[in-house]
Chains A and B, each alone.
Chain A
Amino acid sequence: MTENLIDIRQLKKYYPVTGGVMRRHLADVKAVDGVDLAIRKGECLGLVGESGCGKTTLGKTILRLHGATSGRIYFAQKPERIEEIETGLASGDTRVRSKARSQLRGIDLASARGRTLLAMRPRIQIVFQDPTNSLDPRMLVKDIVGEPLVAQKLVKAADLPARVQELLSIVGLTRDHLMRYPHEFSGGQRQRIAIARALATNPEFVLMDEPTSALDVSVQAQILNLLKRLQHEFHLTYLFVTHHLLVVKYISNRIAVMYLGKICELGPTPEIFDRPLHPYTRALLSAIPVPDPESKQQKIILSGDVPNPIDPPAGCRFHPRCSYAKEICRTAEPPLERVAGTERTVACHRWREI
């Protein structure tokens, strides 16, 4: 069994909403509400969903850019070990639970802090959506790309310039680009600089948070091809977060669809596109504008707006907008169940019938 590079169990990230005179805790924005996700080593997993679904929050929580409310993020652990700890955590005996919790130290990203967290950082990196904002406008390119190495003292000062130059050439830039400010470059070039920075520490996992959404169409193709090549060359694992379904189809091996903080469908890319099982996935796929005037695709127009993560609907979160909703969908939340004979999982009560 291929090892999972990242194994996420029951991850939750809530943002408290305070209000009133005494700043009482009124409610929680349940951005990520219990996500189980396994990212295999060497794959590109696409994470799609619309605004408010929590995909960006999930990515940033994996990167520990903010702490998780609860849950575990196992990094590069053997599956047996993970199962052992998970059963320990779920047991009724307090002593077993606390023993399991103590075993989490050093392997769980969600609860790591201080030096343990710092030790894990070189192995996970991120490329942001907007290259204008993700590069410090007052720093030179060479300092931007070299920062991860300097901050963690990974490279001797004498070797730094060579390493920076090497990184730039990997992404297709030259040494003439070293001594310049980011604003002198185009969007595509800035994104390349951001990618070079992400690769500086030789990471194993890179989170791509909508890396091409802010770029022009012709540049998007350049960056996507570059990312593909880099993945093969350096054996990277990607989590590709985006709302653009055709892009994710081009670059990912598997796709996970998120809605309102939970995963509703997961599976290999071609199978998801050929036969989407969850009604939301179907609507999402049908809504993609196809660049072919001859195609006569019937669009599924969903009614209503994307709901608010503060107060998700009871039962299945999608039921207010779902045309197949039945009584059970209004009351019971569907679990993520595996489709027999495939590697797909789907969270819907009625997926067999529709």
Chain B
Amino acid sequence: MPQDTLATTQDLFTNFYTFEGVVRALNGVNIVVRHGETYGLVGESGCGKSVTVRSMMRIVQAPGKIDSGSIFVFLNPEDRLKAIEIVHRSEAYMESIRGCDISMIFQEPAAALNPVLSIGEQVAESYRFHLNDRMLEETLKALEGKRGHGLQRALFRRELAAIHRRDARLQRIDNELYPLDGRDDPEARSRKAQLSRMRDRTGGTDALVQVARRFPFLRLYRRRLERTVHGHVVELLRSLGIPNPENVAERYPHELSGGMQQRIVIAIALACHPTLLIADEPTSNLDVTIQAQIVDLIKQLKKTAISSVLFITHDLGLVAETCDRVTVMYAGDVCETAAVKELFKRPLHPYTKGLLNSVPKVEQAEELAMIPGAVPNLIAPPTGCRFHPRCPSRMPICVTEKPAVVEHTADHWVACHLYPKAAGSERSDPERSGPHD
């Protein structure tokens, strides 16, 4: 495992159990996202790029299920090597990560925003859910030195204390839970399950505060807190280049254009300064000029606010412009992974070559090359290498055996029988070894 890995999947198999059959969406997917890089995930429809990131966030919709494989994230800022396995984590833990450490933005900004809530309310949701303790601390600090407001102060302090208690409890549970991650014996498993249940049940609220929040006139005391949050919201919108942020915060999503909506979605995703931003085709529905704006914005944010970006797209031009490393996927298989310059200059996998040749370029002298055939049906996918029916370099072994991922040149990985694991020059496959190497 490379030193600076942020998130990785190993041999991920995700299947959808539908009415017509089992859709084998992911066929053993391995990807490695490192700190501080923009990682591109490229492929056509049905290749599994969206399913991969949704599996990573554990938001695969029923009837989909992660059947096997593991997903590790390295989110601890102090201990970069502390791997957290998240396939079997509780939903409560995932909720604490989503939006906070790993955020995701989607293709249709209009669909990602709630049409009946104002922009300010939606961005504030991130703050209120994840950063409630910081907001409370700030509110209390603002109240310092002011006379009166005794009741407000008391209620806020109680709420903050409850959150601190919960965090301490969670920390104790986690301290026991993480070392058990690597072990798989029955005793460890039962203890892990027990701890997960304890973790789920740990609440973070105070009874008196709960009552006060619902009491008709009493709950006006929260206005001060909401003002604090609102201040943060406006600052965030301003930092994203949205003109007139106070005005925009009062508006509703349908009053904004597509580009603005996508900025709002990015704002919601960035509210808690996530370490990883996953962008699932964020600009496919936008005009070219707006797309340039959004891509520019993401590039700037990567310098200041986020550590890494996982960029999913089908547009190879976008990949060339924005990404450092890229993985090409086809029908649930990972075909090739390499640095972007290397991939475009020396593509190894026949699918990558075909893809690069079938995209019209600015200097397009001859006819566009085509890849014959169509994307296969994943209910009955081709055996062996899933690309073999359309591959110009097909060999008999391709029909029967799935090719293993091999590091053909330095940090350039490919899964194709044209590049077998040669004995002697065989390198170990760090992407496939466990986290404790």
Contacts and interface: CB of A to CB of B under 8 A. Distances in A.
| Touch between chains A and B, by CB atoms below 8 Å | yes
A290 interface: yes
B360 A287 contact: no
Nearest to B374: A186
B354 A218 contact: yes
Nearest to A219: B374
Interface string A211-232: 0000011111110110010000
A50 B296 CA distance: 19
Given A246-B362, A292-B361, A51 B318 contact: no
A276 interface: no
B288 A243 contact: yes
B45 interface: yes
A108 B279 CA distance: 49
A273 interface: yes
A51 B370 CA distance: 29
A123 to B, nearest CB: 29
Contacts of A289: 291, 295, 315, 317-318, 320-321
Contacts of B259: 305
Contacts of A217: 44, 314, 316, 355, 358-359
A291 B289 contact: no
Contacts of B288: 50, 243, 245, 284, 287-288
Interface in A213-260: 216-222, 224-225, 228, 243, 245-247, 249-250
Interface residues of B, number: 43
A291 B317 CA distance: 4
Given A188-B374, A219-B374, A221-B369, A290 B358 contact: no
Interface string B1-16: 0000000000000000
B170 interface: no
B367 interface: yes
A216 B45 CA distance: 7
A70 interface: no
B190 interface: no
B292 A301 contact: yes
A302 B289 contact: yes
A306 B257 contact: yes
A189 B344 contact: no
A217 B362 CA distance: 16
B260 A305 contact: yes
A189 B374 contact: yes
B361 A305 contact: no
A247 B372 CA distance: 19
Contacts of A273: 362
A220 B259 CA distance: 26
Nearest to B390: A218
Contacts of A301: 289, 292-293, 296
Q: Is the interface of B mostly helix, strand, loop or mixed?
A: helix
Interface string B319-363: 111000000000000000000110010000000001110111110
B368 A225 contact: yes
A186 B378 CA distance: 13
Contacts of A51: 258, 287
B290 interface: yes
Interface residues of A, number: 40
Nearest to B354: A218
A290 B372 CA distance: 24
B371 interface: yes
Contact of A220 (B291, B296, B358, B361): B358
B344 A291 contact: yes
Interface centre among B257, B289, B361 (most CB of A within 10 A): B289
Nearest to B359: A291
Nearest to B373: A218
A245 B362 CA distance: 9
A176 interface: no
A294 interface: yes
A290 B362 contact: yes
B375 interface: yes
A92 interface: no
Contacts of A249: 360, 362, 364
Interface string A272-298: 010000000001101111111111000
A246 B361 CA distance: 6
Interface string A170-201: 00000000000000001111000000000000
A287 B321 CA distance: 11
A293 B320 contact: yes
Contacts of A287: 288-289, 291-292
14 contacts: A187-B45, A217-B316, A245-B288, A249-B360, A250-B368, A288-B317, A291-B356, A291-B361, A293-B320, A293-B340, A299-B296, A302-B293, A305-B260, A306-B287
Given A250-B360, A292-B344, A294-B341, 19 more contacts: A50-B290, A51-B287, A217-B44, A217-B358, A221-B368, A221-B371, A246-B362, A246-B364, A250-B364, A287-B289, A288-B362, A289-B291, A289-B318, A290-B320, A290-B362, A291-B316, A291-B344, A301-B296, A306-B257
